[in-house]
Structures are given as C-alpha cells and as structure tokens.
C-alpha cells in the first residue's frame, strides 16, 4: 500500500488549517457548555480533509471502504480502540466528513490528534 504523504506534512491542527485554507472560527457565540464539542468537531473535519488531501468518500460506491477511528472510552481512559470501515451501511456516529481514505490515515489521525477526537466524543 502506498503511504499517504500527508501523514508526514500534517502534524498539528494549524498544519491542517494551512493545508486546507479553512478559516479559524470563533466559537464564542456558542453556549459555553457546547463550545468545546463544536470547536473539536470543526477541527476534526479540517484535519480529516487535510489528511485525505481533499478527497471525499464516494457514498455511491459500495466497493470503496470508508475508514474512521474507533475509541475506547471509560471514566479513567480515552484511547484508540482500532479503526473500522463501512461500505454498505452508515453509522449515526460517523459523518461522511470524518471518514478517512484508508486505515493508516484513520489510525494516524486518532493517535496524532487524540485531544481533538476526545473533544468530539466527550466535549
């Protein structure tokens, strides 16, 4: 499998914003108890877009796997449990903008940006 070159380039959230040209957004108008979640969700979308080099899943192609990090969460820990793919169903917790182009990219995203993903899941 050919290694995704973006895994060498996208090391920080700032790298992802620079690579995509997406603007930083001020979330101060969001209620305080929801702010972390919405900012983390936006950051995760930008990171995924950058790592996927702008490629979006083709939901009409059932032969194309769509990868997403899957986390193990408990009161004392939050960590990558693995990755999974879906090709014939959708999952309520897995929007299309958060799907990666391959398993390696999904694992990298989960490990490199664990704080962002924690905010998406627990924010």
Output the six-digit token pair for 122: 């627990």
Tens digit of pLDDT for each residue in 26-71?
999 999 999 999 999 999 999 999 999 988 888 788 888 888 877 7
Tens digit of pLDDT for each residue in 6-32?
898 999 999 999 999 999 999 999 999
Output the six-digit token pair for 69: 């990090």
The residues spanned by each domain of the chain are 6-122
Give bridge partners of residue 25 from the DSSP assignment: none
Output the six-digit token pair for 10: 């996208």
* 95: confidence class by pLDDT, cuts 50, 70, 90: low
């Amino acid at each position: 499998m050919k290694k995704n070159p973006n895994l060498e380039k996208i090391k920080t959230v700032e790298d992802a914003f620079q690579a995509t040209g997406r603007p930083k957004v001020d979330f101060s108008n969001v209620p305080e108890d929801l702010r972390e979640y919405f900012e983390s969700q936006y950051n995760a979308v930008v990171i995924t877009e950058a790592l996927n080099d702008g490629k979006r899943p083709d939901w009409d192609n059932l032969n194309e796997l769509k990868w997403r990090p899957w986390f193990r969460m408990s009161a004392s820990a939050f960590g990558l449990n693995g990755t999974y793919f879906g090709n014939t169903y959708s999952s309520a917790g897995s929007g299309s903008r958060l799907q990666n182009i391959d398993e390696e990219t999904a694992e990298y995203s989960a490990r490199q940006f664990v704080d962002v993903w924690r905010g998406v899941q627990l924010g």
